[in-house]
Amino acid sequence: MPRRRRGGLRFVSNFVRRKSINRGLFGDDRFWRVVFFVMMGRRVLRKVSGAEPEVVALERLEPGQFVRIEAIDPRSPKGMRRRRRS
């Protein structure tokens, strides 16, 4: 069965990651070592910065109760104040 070629940005990203590991981390090519640390640094920053959803509250509702969910526009003055405080 012939192998399918995967196209797109994901293929390019995996290719660059593999090449940076082989030539930069395990090899002695400075350029690929920098590429590796930039790619991994981006991934670490994304995880540290809180790209994951944050659970604010978990509560059980009784019959007849309701929930109101609002989102504050981060560009509004109120949203900017809240962002500065946290």
For residue range 5-16, list pLDDT tens digits in order: 656 777 888 899
pLDDT digits (tens, 9 = 90+) for 64-76: 999 888 777 766 6
User: CA 2, CA 5: separation in Å to the nearest integer?
Assistant: 9
Within a domain: 66: yes
The least confident of 1-5, 7-11, 44-48 is 1-5
Between 30 and 76, the more confident residue is 30
What is the 8-class DSSP label of residue 44? Answer: H
Residue 83 near residue 74, CB atoms below 8 Å: yes
How many domains does the chain divide into?
Answer: 1
- The residue ranges of DSSP E strands in the chain, in sequence order, are none
Whether 1 is covered by a domain: the verdict is no
Residue 65 DSSP SS3: coil
Asked if residue 35 is part of any domain, the answer here is: yes
Asked if residues 33 and 24 have their Cβ atoms less than 8 Å apart, the reply is: yes
Task: Tell me, yes or no, whether 4 lies in a domain.
Answer: no
40 occurs within a structural domain: yes
User: What is the identity of the amino acid at 39?
Assistant: M
The domain in which residue 73 lies consists of: 9-52+61-85
Let me know if residue 75 belongs to a domain: yes
